[in-house]
A and B are shown apart, each in its own frame.
Chain A
């Protein structure tokens, strides 16, 4: 018995030039906010951008981007709708407001399903927003998706960085391309993790401030792009070779 979906995953992704996977060892460090803002920022720079929320049990990017009343088009598969100039895909189109209790094997199955039936149009870059940690979703992406690059998010907390370090070691062992590490929610009172990152011979991308204004920017992309958080991310993006 063969699962026919597996061989169609890379077929479905063939029009995509670059795939950036936003990961961290921990939850709550800002992966979804960074992934969404990164997508908007690159779209504003006229790149063709896709965003795929792969955190199936706790999807968040649809709230950040205020995705409402949209549905993928059915066309020999499903075609992600475009919103704020970003082609967007999430399990939320199917699970709606309901909770979706998935064990890892089921989440993995759902992920393979969506990866294989989603027809991405030509994109310069597809950004994947991942659940935290080194579990099924991350392993599935490593196993099934060719040409991925990892964009790692941490906070200044040693608790976050300790988990990121483990993720980093695994990705390095598997020779996965790593763009670098971004330090989010930086507060001046805390020492930076920059020195620790440099010891690992990984690029330190920079830090994003802890931004009190973020909460009111959620669901409003114009306000979001105007926050200190987003402006700093744009600055980092323009000096980082992403692809």
Chain B
């Protein structure tokens, strides 16, 4: 369950930001989660609630999921990763390392493996709000 590792990473960088901005208390942390990585948002939320330090006592963790959008570098076609069927084993590997998508995903128009992940790859810390 590597949602725990991600939660820890989110908290450690949110702490860093809060310290840099001199926040004594964090009121809101906004996180986006890319669909590509298929994070279990429930587990992520639970992990955040278990791992959080005093600074995050009253923090609202807002989690938004983003569709994984891909763009072919050869023919410019854009599509969503979610439209593709993949087996469980590969899905699991992509969960740990999203770039594993390159072993099985091809441009639906031209068949190229040379595409860009435009958005919706992994976990991002969108913003940290708080009081000084």
Q: Which residues of A contact B (CB under 8 A)?
A: 1-8, 11-12, 56, 74-78, 91, 94-96, 98-103, 106-107, 109-110, 113-114, 116-117, 119
**7 pairs from A and B in contact (CB 8 Å cutoff):** A1-B124, A6-B13, A7-B16, A8-B13, A11-B8, A75-B1, A77-B5
> How close is B54's CB to chain A, nearest CB, in angstroms?
19
Contact status B96-A102, CB under 8 Å: no
CA distance A101 to B106 in the complex (A): 11
A56 neighbours in B (Cβ, 8 Å): 99
Give the nearest-CB partner of B15 in chain A: A7
Let me know if A100 and B2 touch, CB within 8 A.
Answer: no
Cβ distance B65 to chain A, nearest Cβ, rounded Å = 15
Residue of B nearest to A74 (CB): B1
Do most interface residues of chain B lie in helix, strand or loop, or is the interface mixed? helix
How far does the alpha carbon of A116 sit from the alpha carbon of B122 in the complex, in Å?
13
Choose one: B10, B17, B97, B121; the contact of A91 (CB below 8 Å): B97
* Chain A CB within 8 A of B120 CB: no
- Residue of chain B at shortest CB distance from A105: B116
Are A117 and B102 in touch, CB under 8 angstroms?
no
Q: Which residues of B contact A (CB under 8 A)?
A: 1-2, 4-6, 8-10, 12-14, 16-17, 93, 96-100, 102-104, 113-114, 117, 121-126
Closest to B103 in A: A98
Please pick, from A3, A8, A91, the residue contacting B5 in the complex, using a CB distance under 8 A: A8
Q: Which of B2, B8, B126 contacts A78 (CB 8 A)?
A: B2
User: Quick check: B2 and A1 within 8 Å, CB to CB?
Assistant: no
Among candidates B96, B102, B113, B125, residue contacting A1 with C-beta atoms closer than 8 Å: B125
Beyond A11-B8, A76-B2, whether A94 also contacts B125 by CB under 8 A is no
**In this complex, which of A8, A11, A78 has the most chain B Cβ atoms within 10 angstroms of its Cβ?**
A8
A114 to B6, CA, bound (A): 11
Q: Let me know if B5 and A109 touch, CB within 8 A.
A: no
Query: Assuming the A-B contacts A2-B13, A4-B12, A77-B2, are A110 and B99 also in contact, with contact meaning beta carbons closer than 8 angstroms in the complex?
Result: yes
Are B100 and A95 in contact, with the CB atoms below 8 A?
Answer: yes
Q: Please, which residue of chain B has its CB at the minimum distance from the CB of A2?
A: B125
Residues of B within 8 A of A117 (CB): 2, 5-6, 96
Taking a contact as CB atoms under 8 Å apart, the answer to whether B125 and A3 are in contact is yes
Taken together as a complex, chains A and B put the C-alpha atoms of A11 and B16 apart, in Å, by 13
Per the bound structure, the CA–CA distance linking A116 and B9 in Å amounts to 8
The 5 closest A-B pairs by CB, nearest first: A77-B5, A76-B4, A8-B9, A94-B93, A98-B103
